[in-house]
């Protein structure tokens, strides 16, 4: 089997992953694929920024630990993180509060893969320029950005493997610099005319199915619970199915999706806008798949 295959890469990431303990009292939210941009017409996140802020404000106030499963910032289309941070300053201020309370963990995806480099983290993530106070302030100082994490249930010893899900893909993982070049200088412009990037697992249905099939095969062979992102397709399997979960994304047309772990149960959630009888609009948090109990191994 090739050392660059999805199976090999997932095994490699799993073996190196840091373990984080949790139990029935823990409250965890898993979010991926925000693709925060620069506020321009190619910023896929901008139309859901208020939904996202409302959601993470809820999770902050209710004591959740936030684990980011990657592609939180769109660093293929955009060259500079500082522009993203400036546009979404209120969001980053709240994320900083999570981080300062040891309630924020980050995994990188293919679109923010540069976060794995210490130099990038030091120059971009340690601090940011607050335009309101006209000063530099701490952001994610000395943060460790993971390729994968393992959540270990201390009650029943079950392990949940958290990973973005791009591992082993030719363009997204191995030759990601080529993928970034195409996204930044070719597909970014062609999207204006309605053309979709054929190399993207999120925008290409056949590619999406292939990516998910490879991860599911790995999970089945290893008898391992996997929670990923990357394909943007929210997934919560039934009890008799292979335990592959997907958080979905924050750039759906009318909602954002995420996964909550509460009372040792995995729940797939959706945040969207709804209308009351009087015509007023409100943000709704909705369960979209029956909670699945985390079983010991």
Dmax of the chain from CA atoms?
61
How far does CA 156 lie from the centroid of its chain?
Answer: 26
The stretches of 71-169 forming alpha helices (DSSP H) are: 81-87, 89-100, 118-120
Dump pLDDT digits (tens) for 24-82. Answer: 999 999 999 999 999 988 899 999 999 999 999 999 999 999 999 999 999 999 999 99
CA dihedral of residues 148, 150, 151, 155 (deg, nearest 10): 180
- Residue 133's pLDDT band, with cuts at 50, 70 and 90, is confident
pLDDT of residue 70: 96
User: Taking the CA of residue 206 as centre, how many other CA atoms within 13 Å lie in the half-sphere pointing to its CB?
Assistant: 3
User: Taking the CA of residue 193 as centre, how many other CA atoms within 13 Å lie in the half-sphere pointing to its CB?
Assistant: 5
User: Residue 131 pLDDT > 90, yes or no?
Assistant: no
pLDDT of residue 129: 77
Domains identified in the chain and CATH numbers = 6-293 (3.60.21.10)
pLDDT of residue 101: 97
């Amino acid at each position: 089997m090739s050392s660059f295959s999805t199976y090999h890469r997932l095994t490699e990431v799993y073996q190196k992953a840091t373990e984080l303990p949790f139990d029935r009292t823990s409250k965890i939210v898993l979010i991926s694929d925000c693709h925060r941009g620069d506020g321009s017409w190619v910023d896929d996140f901008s139309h859901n920024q208020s939904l996202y802020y409302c959601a993470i404000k809820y999770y902050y106030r209710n004591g959740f630990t936030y684990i980011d499963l990657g592609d939180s910032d769109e660093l293929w289309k955009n060259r500079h993180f500082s522009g993203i941070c400036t546009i979404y300053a209120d969001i980053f201020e709240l994320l900083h509060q999570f981080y300062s309370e040891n309630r924020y963990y980050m995994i990188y995806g293919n679109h923010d893969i540069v976060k794995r480099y210490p130099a990038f983290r030091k120059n971009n993530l340690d601090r940011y320029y607050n335009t309101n106070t006209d000063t530099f302030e701490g952001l994610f100082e000395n943060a460790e950005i993971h390729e994968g994490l393992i959540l270990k249930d201390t009650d029943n010893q079950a392990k949940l493997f958290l990973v973005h899900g791009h591992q082993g893909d030719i363009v997204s993982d191995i030759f990601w610099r080529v993928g970034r070049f195409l996204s930044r200088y070719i597909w970014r412009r062609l999207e204006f005319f309605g053309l979709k990037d054929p190399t993207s697992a999120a925008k290409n249905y056949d590619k999406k199915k292939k990516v998910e099939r490879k991860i599911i095969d790995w999970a089945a062979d290893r008898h391992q619970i996997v929670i990923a992102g990357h394909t943007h397709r929210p997934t919560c399997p039934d009890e008799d199915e292979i335990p592959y979960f997907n958080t979905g994304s924050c750039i759906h047309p009318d909602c954002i999706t995420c996964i909550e772990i509460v009372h040792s149960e995995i729940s797939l959630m959706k945040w969207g806008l709804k209308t009351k009888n009087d015509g007023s609009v409100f943000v709704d948090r909705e369960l979209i798949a029956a909670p699945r109990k985390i079983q010991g191994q």
